[in-house]
Amino acid sequence: MRRTGLFGVPRVRPWSWQAFLLGLIVVAMSAALQGICVALGAKLYFVVFLPSLFVLAFVAGAPAAVFAALLTVPLVWWAFIPPAFQFNSLTSANADSINLFCLLAVLLIGLADLCRETMTIIRSGGLKPSGESAATNSQ
């Protein structure tokens, strides 16, 4: 793991086995927290997984976050959508919540990847001026 210059956030190489292991750990921890939320009466099945996907994508890269998102859908379908611990046909509301999760996951993973790349640019010294810009008038 490397440390970035901003806030000391540890980063993992995107295609490493550590990144995918971290993705698996994040899904397991999110599932435990989601189980607590469901026990308290929450009906939002993917509420805990979205912020954890963003943080995972920022720390470990987009491939690990996509892996975690792909693990999340069958896990939530099996463990949290009633009847619990069974794969049954989805109602239209449950299918819509899965589709919305997939859309939000793609957007959040993309945003986290942009943030990760921006951090890389900042750490390397920022953008270098390429000479004269088009907005500069040389007259």
Kindly state whether residue 50 falls inside one of the protein's structural domains: yes
Q: Is residue 87 part of a domain?
A: yes
Asked, for residue 23, whether it belongs to a domain, the answer is: yes
**Domain tally for the chain?**
1
Task: For residue 20, give both structure tokens.
Answer: 């995918």
Q: Which residue has the higher pLDDT, 137 or 72?
A: 72
Whether residue 22 has pLDDT greater than 80: yes
* pLDDT at residue 9, as a whole number: 65
Per-residue model confidence (pLDDT) at position 132? 57
> Is residue 82 included in any domain, yes or no?
yes
Burial label, 33 (beta-carbon count in 10 A; 0-12, 13-18, 19+) = middle
Alpha helices in the chain (DSSP H): 17-39, 49-60, 62-79, 92-123
| 76 in a structural domain | yes
Q: Which domain holds residue 80?
A: 2-123
Q: Judge if pTM exceeds 0.75.
A: yes
Helix (H, G, I), strand (E, B) or coil at 119: helix
Q: Is residue 136 in a domain?
A: no
Whether residue 137 is contained in a domain is answered as no
Residue 22 lies inside a defined structural domain of this protein: yes
Q: What is the pLDDT of residue 19?
A: 96
pLDDT over 90 at 137, yes or no = no
pLDDT value, residue 138: 58
